[in-house]
């Protein structure tokens, strides 16, 4: 991963309380797993930023190295990697995701 790609990712995850690297966009998710995450965040009704890695191959590879996580989507809350689709669903079902999001948005 080039320093420029890393800097770009650093900027995205630090400037956005809730940042999702996904396939497609909020309105047009291109993959079921990415769609899961979008649906969960929409249900929580919180503001979040997304980046379509299909349109940015450098970030598509770089993000996997950045978080040591091989798949997309990837969710970051308050700059911290939280997980992918499976973990988002588990955290949502346990109510932990709501807490994490509220803390992040309140800070």
Which residues would be at the binding site for another protein (CB under 8 A)?
33, 64, 68-71, 81-87, 90-91
Pairwise CA distance, residues 29 & 5, whole Å: 23
Angle between helices 32-44 and 96-106 (to 10 degrees): 60
**Residue 15 or 90 having the CB closest to another protein:** 90
For residue 86, the minimal CB distance to another protein (Å) is 5
Nearer to another protein, 16 or 36 (CB): 36
CB of 51 to another protein, least distance (A): 19
Q: Are strands 49-52 and 18-22 parallel, antiparallel or unpaired?
A: parallel
Measured from the CB atom, the residue of 58 and 69 that comes closer to another protein is: 69
How many whole angstroms separate alpha carbon 107 and alpha carbon 104?
A: 5
Shortest distance, CB of residue 78 to another protein, whole angstroms?
Answer: 14
CA 85/CA 33 separation, integer angstroms: 6
């Amino acid at each position: 991963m080039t320093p420029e790609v890393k800097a770009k990712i650093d900027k995205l995850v630090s400037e956005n309380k809730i940042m999702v690297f996904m396939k497609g966009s909020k309105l047009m998710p291109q993959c079921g797993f990415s769609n899961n995450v979008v649906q969960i965040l929409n249900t929580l009704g919180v503001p979040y930023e997304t980046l379509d890695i299909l349109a940015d191959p450098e970030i598509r590879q770089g993000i996997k190295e950045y978080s040591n996580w091989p798949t997309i989507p990837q969710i970051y809350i308050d700059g911290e990697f939280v997980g992918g689709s499976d973990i988002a669903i588990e955290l949502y079902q346990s109510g932990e995701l709501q807490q994490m999001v509220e803390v992040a948005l309140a800070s």
